Amino acid sequence: MEWVVDCSFTSALFLPSGQSPAVRSFFSRLSDEDVLRVPSLWWHETANVLAVAQRRKVLSAVDVSGIILLVSGITLSTEEACGTRLLARVSGIAGEHGLSAYDAAYLDLAIRKGGKLATLDRELGIAARAAGVETFPG
């Protein structure tokens, strides 16, 4: 199964305030046939989540190092798309569904790869379902 996972979803693995049993269950049930995809912006968003959590003293430097080690154990296929085609697709999806361009990038990737979208972002989930993309949680 092809999955696109967004930052809200993966951050629920490690943020103390956002840990989710559903997210942990999702990751524990993955098989070797499952593919997890992220747009390249996922890495920047996740780095920002870690930096903000550390700045707010929610996570320590040791915690961040442990989280990076945890993330290194997850096989993520990174989409390195760029250019005017991406710009047109993402801005179109953002406008059509009232999303940020960041969220639209996840939906664009799910649409293009024919995959499902794993997100805890309510608006992104609604937009995905409106676009015919299956979501987790449903």
DSSP code, position 120: -
pLDDT, one tens digit for every residue, the chain (138 residues) = 999 999 999 999 999 887 889 999 999 999 999 999 999 999 999 999 999 999 999 999 999 999 999 999 999 999 998 999 999 999 999 999 999 999 999 999 999 999 999 999 999 999 999 999 999 998
Q: How far separated are the first and last CA of the chain, in Å rounded?
A: 16
Are 12 and 19 spatial neighbours (Cβ–Cβ below 8 Å)?
A: yes
**CA 84, 94, 130, 11 torsion-angle sign:** positive
Are 75 and 32 spatial neighbours (Cβ–Cβ below 8 Å)?
A: no
Class (C level, CATH) for 2-136: alpha beta
Strand partners, 119: none
